[in-house]
């Protein structure tokens, strides 16, 4: 729900300050309506139902994959598309992938969201309503900001949402925020906000190739980005998770693995997650299993810890932006705010981004 609107309506009704907390606590526990909030006066419940929509997002479409992955496409009040995904695992984890923006102007060439017109930053309430949608279905315990948008270009809203996620059941240690390498945001995360995890979408160790795949590299070169990540690591005392999308014939050769290993110093600061490509119609093909295994072996021979993610939800177009990109753009949509969609790799195995530091076991696809 729109938490600012809630505060406004409660204030106009001269309700005591604790009412907003009561409403939020019910919502965070999975309540499906105001009528379930039995410690609120009946008259207030009716007024809130009339004046404060229970969600700031309208559900447009849902899809359920054969592996249990569930994807939702929403619209904001002004018609912006937003996607979120729930990934279910046999060990009991329920991991959310949420969006921080609608659309993206950063045009990563492998990304479905990058083909869309950019809409705007999402509010903290719109981010939280993605999580609450799935919380109303079942308990959730992990989250990653790897959906539509570049989270660090909307950092105020992202951090505000992160502050409330523990109420929903998602600890800060089980929350990961992914970035293409937006240095001002990395620097802020080192000093501000809850101690969530940081993941860097790297995808190429060579500056020229990375700029080809991710034009943002021209603005923030990789070596500067890694230096910022090391400052975050030193401040937060946590590893940086390096996301590396495996693209056949593009970035999956042995010498490219060697170059990546040479970049990631000191070794203790980084862990690499190799991502089988979830096709988005961009023209790229995913690397084969043997190529991925050889790439991983080359990294580990050089002391770089690496895992391979399980791909989730391919049969429901689960990579970020795939459903939204198919929608016809509305005439009123504009592109006046920054954003990013890091899409093809987003909606896959996420355990690496939310490790608690006590154990290093991963579900990896060998």
Point out the residues that are catalytic. Answer: 83, 320
Structure tokens at 299: 């990294």
In the numeric block, the tokens 């951090």 are attached to 159
CA 262 and chain centroid, separation: 28
Structure tokens at 210: 């990375």
Cβ atoms within 10 Å of 138's Cβ, excluding its own = 12
Give CA–CA dist 58/81, Å, rounded: 10
Structure tokens at 61: 């479409």
* 40 three-state secondary structure: coil
Strands 306-308 and 70-75: unpaired
Kindly give, in sequence order, each residue whose CB lies less than 8 Å from that of residue 95, ignoring residues fewer than 6 positions away.
86, 87, 89, 140, 141, 142, 143, 144, 350, 351, 354
In the numeric block, the tokens 């198919």 are attached to 326
Give CA–CA dist 159/188, Å, rounded: 10
Give CA–CA dist 357/196, Å, rounded: 12
Treating both helix axes as pointing N-terminal to C-terminal, what angle do 222-236 and 254-263 enclose, rounded to 10 degrees? Answer: 50
Give CA–CA dist 37/129, Å, rounded: 18
* CA-atom Rg of the chain in angstroms: 20
Please, are residues 366 and 310 in contact by the beta-carbon 8 Å criterion? Answer: no
């Amino acid at each position: 729900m729109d938490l600012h609107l809630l505060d406004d309506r409660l204030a106009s009704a001269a309700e005591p300050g604790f009412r907003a907390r009561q409403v939020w606590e019910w919502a965070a526990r999975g309540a499906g309506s105001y009528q379930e909030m039995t410690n609120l006066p009946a008259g207030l419940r009716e007024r809130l139902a009339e004046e404060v929509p229970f969600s700031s997002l309208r559900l447009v479409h849902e899809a359920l994959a054969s592996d249990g992955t569930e994807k939702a496409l929403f619209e904001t009040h002004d018609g912006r598309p937003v996607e979120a995904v729930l990934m279910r695992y046999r060990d009991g984890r329920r991991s959310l992938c949420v969006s921080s923006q609608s659309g993206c102007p950063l045009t990563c060439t492998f990304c479905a969201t990058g083909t869309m017109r950019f809409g705007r930053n999402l509010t903290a309430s719109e981010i939280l309503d993605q999580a609450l949608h799935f919380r109303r279905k079942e308990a959730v315990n992990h989250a990653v900001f790897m959906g539509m948008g570049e989270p660090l270009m909307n950092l105020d809203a992202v951090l505000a949402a992160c502050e409330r996620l523990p109420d929903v059941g998602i600890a800060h240690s089980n929350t990961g925020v992914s970035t293409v390498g937006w240095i001002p945001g990395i620097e802020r995360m080192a000093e501000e906000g809850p101690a969530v995890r940081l993941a860097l979408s790297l995808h190429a160790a060579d500056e020229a190739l990375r700029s080809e795949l991710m034009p943002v590299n021209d603005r923030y070169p990789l070596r500067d980005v890694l230096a910022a990540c090391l400052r975050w690591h030193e401040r937060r005392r946590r590893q940086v998770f390096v996301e590396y999308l495996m693209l056949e014939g593009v970035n999956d050769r042995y010498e490219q693995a060697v170059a990546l290993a040479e970049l990631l110093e000191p070794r203790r600061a980084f862990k690499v997650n190799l991502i089988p490509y979830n096709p988005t119609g961009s023209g790229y093909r995913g690397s084969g299993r043997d190529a991925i295994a050889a790439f991983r072996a080359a990294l580990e021979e050089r002391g770089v810890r690496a895992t391979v993610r399980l791909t989730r939800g391919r049969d429901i177009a689960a990579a970020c932006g795939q459903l939204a990109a198919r929608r016809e753009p509305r005439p009123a949509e504009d592109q006046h705010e920054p954003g990013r969609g890091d899409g093809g790799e987003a909606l896959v195995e996420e355990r690496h981004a939310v490790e608690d530091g006590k154990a290093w076991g991963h579900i990896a696809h060998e």
